[in-house]
Amino acid sequence: MGFWFFSNRKKRQKLGKTCYEFIRSAARNTSFFGPGKVADTVDGRFELLVLHGFLLMRALRVKSPEERLDQLLFDAMFDDMDTAVRELGTSDTQVGKKIKAMAKAFYGRSRAYHEALDEGSEEKMQIALLRNVMAGAEGAEETKFVKQLSKWVFASEKNLNSQSLKQILRAGPDFAQSDFY
pLDDT of residue 148: 96
pLDDT digits (tens, 9 = 90+) for 67-106: 899 999 999 999 999 988 898 888 888 998 999 999 999 9
Cβ pair 50, 105 in contact under 8 A = yes
Residue 139: predicted pLDDT: 85
Q: Is the pTM of this model over 0.85?
A: yes
pLDDT of residue 156: 97
Q: What is the pLDDT of residue 46?
A: 96
The pLDDT of residue 27 is above 80: yes
Question: DSSP states of 130-173 as a string?
Answer: HHHTTTT--SHHHHHHHHHHHHHHHHHHHHHHHS-HHHHHHH--
Domain ranges of the chain: 8-31+38-162
**Residues 167 and 58 sit within 8 Å (Cβ to Cβ):** no
- 11 contacts 5 by C-beta, under 8 angstroms: yes
| Count of beta carbons in the 10 Å neighbourhood of residue 111 | 12
pLDDT for the residue 2:
52
The alpha carbon torsion through 140, 30, 113, 169 (nearest 10 deg) reads 160
Mean pLDDT of 110-118: 98
pLDDT of res. 7:
59
pLDDT in tens, 42-69: 999 999 999 999 999 999 999 988 889 9
Average pLDDT, the chain: 92
Q: Is the pLDDT of residue 141 over 60?
A: yes
